[in-house]
Structure formats: structure tokens, C-alpha cells
Amino acid sequence: MEEIKKIRWCDLKTLKNTTLSVLFIMLFSVGFFLLCDLGISALIKIL
Amino acid sequence: MKDVIKKILITLGILILFKLGSVITVPNVDIGDVKTYLSSGTFLTAMNMITGGSLETFSIFALGVGPYINASIVIQILCMVIPPLKELSEEGGKGRAKMEKITKATTLVIAIIQALSLTLMFQNSYEILEDISVYGIINVVIMMVAGMSITMWLADVITAYGVGNGASVIIFTGIISGLPSTFKTVYETLMLETNGTLKFILYCVVYVLLIVAICFVETSERRILIQQSNRVVNKTKGDFNYIPLKINSAGVMPVIFASTLLSAPSIIANLFGKTELATTLSEKLSLSSWLGIIIFGLLIVMFSFFYTSISINPTQMADNLKKNGTYIPGIRPGFETEKYIKKVLYNITCLGTLCLLIIALMPSIIAKFTSLSSNVALGGTGLIVAVGVAIEIKKNIQTILTNKSYQKYGGF
């Protein structure tokens, strides 16, 4: 219990920035990999 | 900024190569309906996640970075048991390079065993091989091991010239590639129920909240105040130095280790065909059963403490503090400092592991009480890994930018 009080919990500003960065990286990656899959499917059809 | 863009482009280029390799099925293999089996939430679903989604096509990259993860676990355990290995790991740069070589050699051995067991397992269950002679099987194993070596090389290139840790980025690729289909499955399942749209929105909100919770745990830390013996500190100005200890020092590794180890008994049992034991193990050790959830939780606890003990060494920390003439206020340098750091580390690891357990097990437990499949629950475990890697990538980009601006102002 004593240790919990001593922990420096993440402040709201850092949490907001980190969450937004993580969401951006994840959404960007989802879009990028969807494009990759589309490109690969098109390539397979052409070949 | 140019440097960051270059590193990001290199990473994306490597990932395109990885994606291309992931659709090339190993010659002499007919995958048939393997994909349907893998998406039904079995123990192999976890393995498919670690391999970056390459297992469902039985591609040349089907082993992914799995053998490397297994080899790391084996070597780190051996380090604790074999003293010469422990000494080697503590030798600094040269020792670490040697350890890396040993790990890679072990990776090759594990890759051969894993490729052979996967091939035999899939052959026994689905008859995927066109040529079932010894030559045909050896051919498939060689192809898979070669594919794993290429994956490891791609991961190394990302680590050296791209952003983030290569092996983690490859795993990240598999998890993120599966996200659209996970959300599609959830949408289709929930739409069959009453108030489906509302439930789907609720699912999305819980998903985002889970991301926020993971970010919260990952960025919180325990600061141990330290003081230089020959320096006067003005406490009112907040003029302190400190050692930052992350609540979850082990990061996402316990979850990856636990997933790998949980699937191991089922893989071994399935080697001998579709026996009763194999079916029972596959059912009981999946995240859709209570036994699987409990064992998964226990493995996470075990690996959290194990990985923290490997990554943070209190004896070395206390020693370094003493050498630098630094001390923790109120604590004697040396043994007492070591004891104090150990105590703090143990306490915060308990808390960090509890947070990790809640985040890792919550989706599986929710799935037990709702109509959602265990496949979706596994998406929750993958989420911890994905968010962990995303935070690592963010920090890596920040470090590159900070180093660049430091160099601009005359630093080295």
C-alpha cells in the first residue's frame, strides 16, 4: 500500500499524448497493411 | 527529421517484403482449409499471431520469429543454471555479442524441431503434403528454416536501420493485420443479437479504454530518489536525481512467453496425429476454457518476475551507485541499498503483474460470459503486445529526434 503512494502515476497530458500516438501508429499500420494485402492480391491476379 | 523518415521508410519497405513472403506457400504443400481451422480459436491461433499471420498460408515465413523467442527463453533460463553462461552475459559488449551468437545457433536447432513438428502435425491432421516421402518432408523443413532465417535477417535490418525492435515489429505486423477481420467477426456476431449496433459501439469503447489502460500502466513509474555525496541539493527547487523504475519492467514479454509456452504441449501432442489426448489438450489449453485462462495467468505471473529479474540487476545497480559516490537518502550504500532496490522492485512488479493480468485476461473472461468467440478474446492478448510495440516505436522515434537536436547544439 505504501509503495502505491510512492508511484508516480502517468499524468493526463502524457497519457493523452501517448494514447494518441499509439492510436495513430495502430491506425496507420492497419491502413498500410490493408493496402499491402490489396496490392499483393492484385499482383497475384496479374501473375 | 529526414533521418526519422528514412528509418520509417526502411521499416515499411522491410514489412512489404515480409508481407510478400507471407503469401508464398511452401512448395509441396496444399493448404486447403487450414485457414478456417486457425481462425476458430485453437492453440494454433496464438502461434499464428506470433508468426505474423504466416501460419494460415503455411508460407515460407510460417515459423516467423517464434524459434528466436523460444531460444531466448531457453538461453535466459540456462544463464541462471550454468555459471559460465552467466559470466558471459555479464561481460559487457563482447559478452552480449557472444550470447547473441549462441542464441541464434539455438534458434536454428529449435527452428528445425518446430518446422518438423508443424509439418508432421498438419500432415497428420489435414494431409497437407503432396509428396509424403522423407525427401518431401525434409524439403519442406529446409524451406521453412530458410524462411525463418530470412525473417530473422529482416528483423535484424529493422533493428539496425529502422524503428523499434525488429522481432517485436514482425509480431506487431501479424496482430495488426488481423485487426480488421477481428472487428468484422465481432460486428457480424453482434449484429445477430438485439441492440447489436449499441453492443458493437460498446465493444469499440472498451477496446479504446483497454488501449488507454495499457498506456497508463506502461508510462507510470516508481522514482527512487538518489543524492550525490559531494553535492548540495536544494529540495525546494525540486533539484533531485532519481532512478526511474517502470511498474511493468518486463513489458510485453511475459504475455509473448506465456502464449508460446501455452501452445507447446498441444503442438507436441498433435505430432502423433488426432489422438484423444491431443484433442483434450487443444481444448483445455486454449483461452476459451477456464483451465487455459488460469494456466495463462500463472505463466504471466511467473514470466513477469523472471523477466524483471533478468532485465534489472539490483546488485549491479547498488554497486554502480556506490562507485559513483551516489546514495539513496536514508539508506546505507552497498548491501542495504541492494536490499532496498530489491524490495521496491518486488513491490512494483507485484503491482505491474496484477495490472498486466487484468488487461491480459479481461477480454478472455468477457468472452466467456458473452457470445463473442475466443478468437476475439485472443485479440485482447494481442492488443497488449501491439500497444507495447507501438509505445516502443514512439519512444524510439523520440530518442532519434532528441539525439539529432542534441547533436545540433554541439553534443556528440
Nearest one of B2, B3, B4, B17 to B394, comparing CA atoms:
B4
Specify whether the CB–CB gap between B341 and B314 falls below 8 A. Answer: yes
pLDDT of residue B412 exceeding 60, the answer is no
Contacts of A12 in chain B (CB under 8 A): none
Q: Is B32 helix (H, G, I), strand (E, B) or coil?
A: coil
Q: Provide the angle, in degrees to the nearest 10, between the axes of the packed helices B134-161 and B2-22.
A: 170
B24 in contact with chain A, both atoms CB, cutoff 8 A: no
pLDDT of residue B309 exceeding 90, the answer is no
CA B58 to chain centre: 21
Task: Tell me the residues of chain B between 29 and 88 that have a Cβ less than 8 Å away from chain A.
Answer: none
Question: Residue B179, Cβ neighbours under 10 Å: how many?
Answer: 20
pLDDT the model gives residue B14:
94
Share of chain B above pLDDT 70, in %: 86
First to last CA, chain A: 64
pLDDT the model gives residue B42:
57
Nearest one of B285, B292, B298, B289 to B357, comparing CA atoms:
B298
Contacts of B220 in chain A (CB under 8 A): 7-10
Distance CA A33, CA B174 (A): 10
- Grid cell digits, residue B409: 547544439
- Which of A9, A26, A44 comes nearest B220 by C-beta? A9
User: Residue B106: which residues within 8 A CB-CB, separation 6 or more?
Assistant: B71, B74, B75
Q: What is the pLDDT of residues B161-220, one digit of tens each?
A: 988 888 889 888 888 888 888 888 888 888 887 788 888 888 888 888 888 988 888 888
Specify whether the CB–CB gap between A36 and B19 falls below 8 A. Answer: yes
pLDDT band per the 50, 70, 90 thresholds, residue B286? confident
Question: Residue B155, Cβ neighbours under 10 Å: how many?
Answer: 23
- The pLDDT of B243-271, averaged and rounded, is 79
pLDDT the model gives residue B74:
84
Q: What are phi and psi of B162, to 5 degrees?
A: -110, -155
Q: What is the pLDDT of residues A5-39, one digit of tens each?
A: 778 888 888 899 999 999 999 999 999 999 998 99
Give the E-state strand segments of B262-356 in sequence order: 326-327
Distance CA B331, CA B344 (A): 13
- The pLDDT of B222-239, averaged and rounded, is 69
Ramachandran sector of residue B164 (left: φ over 0; alpha: ψ -120 to 50; beta: rest): left
Q: What is the pLDDT of residues B91-115, one digit of tens each?
A: 777 888 888 888 889 999 999 988 8
Distance CA B321, CA B41 (A): 49
- The pLDDT of B34-38, averaged and rounded, is 65
Nearest one of B128, B155, B2 to B64, comparing CA atoms:
B155
pLDDT band per the 50, 70, 90 thresholds, residue B247? confident
- Which of A7, A14, A19 comes nearest B211 by C-beta? A19
pLDDT band per the 50, 70, 90 thresholds, residue B43? low
Task: Tell me the residues of chain B between 328 and 347 that have a Cβ less than 8 Å away from chain A.
Answer: 344, 347
- Which of A3, A8, A36 comes nearest B16 by C-beta? A36
A10 in contact with chain B, both atoms CB, cutoff 8 A: yes
Specify whether the CB–CB gap between B86 and B79 falls below 8 A. Answer: yes
| Cβ contact A22–B394 (<8 Å) | yes
Distance CA B22, CA B118 (A): 16
Q: What is the pLDDT of residues B368-382, one digit of tens each?
A: 777 666 555 555 667
Give the E-state strand segments of B132-264 in sequence order: 221-228, 241-246
pLDDT of residue B400 exceeding 60, the answer is yes
Q: What is the pLDDT of residues B329-345, one digit of tens each?
A: 888 888 888 888 888 88
Q: What is the pLDDT of residues B127-168, one digit of tens each?
A: 778 878 888 889 999 999 999 999 999 998 999 998 888 888
Share of chain B above pLDDT 90, in %: 11
- ipTM value for the complex: 0.90
